[in-house]
């Protein structure tokens, strides 16, 4: 297939591009390198050294003999997006090309607006380019479980049957996002659903849980193929941060009471899920929603797992809950449905001591790169100065 990866320089975009290329698909990537710019502005960087996209594409071709085509430009530029689609004419579009951080979106007015313009306008331009150029193509869009929030009912997979005053209807599951970033994803979902319903397009919305991990089979081929492992308080995840804190001999820092529950999955499973969505496309006019995660953990449970694994390999690990910089429920009901990807054949790689230990050992190998100052949160959801 001809597969276009939007955000192909990113943590998930680059491994996805290599994964599909290795399987024999014709792959092209689009990126504007905004993520690298945002990292520099905030004074953070990934743990492992990251080559430029141009260098990574070159190394990939040298090792595998397979080419990945590059388009450099901004998805908010309508003309650029249209030219990319006219030149490549994809059969499937995997859309990661968005500002991915909730904390970044909450810095203030500028970052909130930048997040929503980048994400919502970029996605609208993609929808219109598809409509004009390849209306039968399938859009696989990375959403987030954070769109749902933490309602006091089971979270269904995209839709819910509502019974009201003797009548019933099937409606998109209610959304209560927890940041301006998550709200941008909600707006994306509504815009894509409208395009499917109105224009007869086909799309799969992958409401993904929190992804962890720093290696795939493809990144292991050469250090220059590394993807970006973030552990800082802006672009990093709780599990990544806990693993780095354990290696750096710092206490693990769950926010607040630590009872917040979320869905999690390994980066290897993200590749599986995206492939299953691409190879089993939605029907014409269908807006399909998959809840993409494999396990649910509380933040405290993650910290306990890392502590246990760290101590087994000789690390002295402590846990110290700190004030929560976010506005969120810390103890809540959480029971999201996630069956559709399993029905398509997903074989989960669940969190285990073996997996955590491999992450810890890789971090130990790169311990000299750890910047301790970027591990603690500095962005408050209710700060007065923003």
User: Domains, the chain, ranges and CATH?
Assistant: 2-374 (3.40.50.720)
> CA-to-CA distance for 134 and 360, rounded, in angstroms?
44
Grade residue 385 by pLDDT with cuts at 50, 70 and 90.
low
Which tokens in the block code for residue 157?
Answer: 């997979």
Q: How far apart are CA 139 and CA 130, in angstroms?
A: 9
Per-residue model confidence (pLDDT) at position 384: 67
Q: How far apart are the first and last CA of the chain?
A: 46
Above pLDDT 90, what percent of the chain?
96
Query: Which is the catalytic residue, given 123, 133, 144, 270?
Result: 144
Which residue among the candidates 181, 212, 264, 334 is catalytic per the annotation?
Answer: 181
pLDDT band at 356 (very low <50, low <70, confident <90, very high): confident
pLDDT at 383 > cutoff 80: no
State the DSSP code for 319.
B
User: Does residue 181 have an active-site annotation?
Assistant: yes
Task: Say what the pLDDT of residue 357 is.
Answer: 85
pLDDT at 353: 83
Query: What pLDDT is attached to residue 258?
Result: 98
Grade residue 386 by pLDDT with cuts at 50, 70 and 90.
low
Spot the catalytic one: 35, 45, 141, 185.
185
The answer to whether 207 and 291 have CB atoms below 8 angstroms apart is yes
The two most distant CA atoms of the chain are separated, in Å, by 65
Mean of per-residue pLDDT scores for the chain: 97
User: What confidence score (pLDDT) does residue 355 get?
Assistant: 82
Active site residue 185: yes
Can you tell me the distance from the alpha carbon of 187 to that of 175, in angstroms, rounded to the nearest whole number?
10
In our burial notation (b when 16+ CB lie closer than 10 A, e otherwise), range 202-241 reads bbbbbbbbbbbbbbbebbeeeebbbbbbbbbbbbbbbbbb
Rounded CA gap, 15 and 270, in Å?
10
């Amino acid at each position: 297939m001809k597969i276009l990866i939007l955000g192909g320089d990113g943590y998930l975009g680059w491994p996805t591009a290599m994964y599909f290329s290795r399987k024999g698909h014709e792959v092209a990537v689009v990126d504007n390198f905004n993520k690298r710019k945002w990292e520099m502005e905030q004074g953070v960087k990934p743990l492992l050294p990251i080559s430029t996209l141009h260098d990574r594409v070159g190394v990939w071709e040298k090792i595998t003999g397979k080419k990945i085509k590059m388009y450099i430009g901004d998805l908010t530029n309508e003309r650029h997006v249209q030219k990319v689609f006219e030149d490549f004419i994809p059969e499937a579009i995997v859309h990661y090309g968005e500002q991915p951080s909730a904390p970044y979106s909450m810095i203030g007015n500028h970052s909130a607006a930048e997040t929503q313009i980048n994400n919502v306008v970029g996605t609208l331009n993609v929808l219109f380019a598809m409509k004009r150029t390849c209306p039968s193509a399938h859009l696989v869009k990375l959403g987030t479980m954070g769109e749902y929030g933490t309602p006091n009912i089971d979270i269904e997979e995209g839709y819910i049957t509502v019974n009201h005053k003797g009548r019933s209807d099937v409606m998109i599951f209610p959304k209560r996002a927890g940041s301006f970033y998550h709200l941008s994803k909600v707006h994306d979902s509504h815009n894509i659903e409208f395009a499917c319903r109105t224009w007869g397009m086909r799309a799969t919305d992958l409401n993904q849980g929190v992804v962890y991990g720093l290696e795939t089979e493809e990144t292991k081929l050469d250090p220059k193929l590394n993807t970006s492992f973030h552990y800082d308080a802006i672009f990093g995840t709780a599990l990544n941060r806990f693993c780095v804190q354990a290696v750096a001999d710092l206490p693990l820092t769950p926010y607040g009471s630590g009872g917040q529950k979320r869905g999690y999955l390994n980066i290897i499973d993200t590749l599986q899920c995206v492939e299953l969505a691409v190879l089993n496309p939605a029907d014409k006019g269908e807006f399909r929603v998959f809840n993409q995660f494999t396990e649910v953990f509380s933040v405290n449970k993650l910290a306990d797992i890392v502590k246990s694994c760290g101590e087994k390999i000789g690390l002295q690990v402590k846990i110290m809950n700190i004030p929560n910089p976010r506005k969120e429920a810390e103890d809540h009901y959480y029971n999201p449905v996630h069956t559709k990807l399993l029905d398509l054949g997903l074989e989960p790689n669940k969190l285990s001591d073996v997996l955590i230990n491999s992450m810890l050992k890789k971090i130990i190998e790169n311990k000299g790169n750890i910047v301790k100052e970027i591990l603690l949160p500095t962005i408050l959801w209710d700060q007065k100065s923003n």
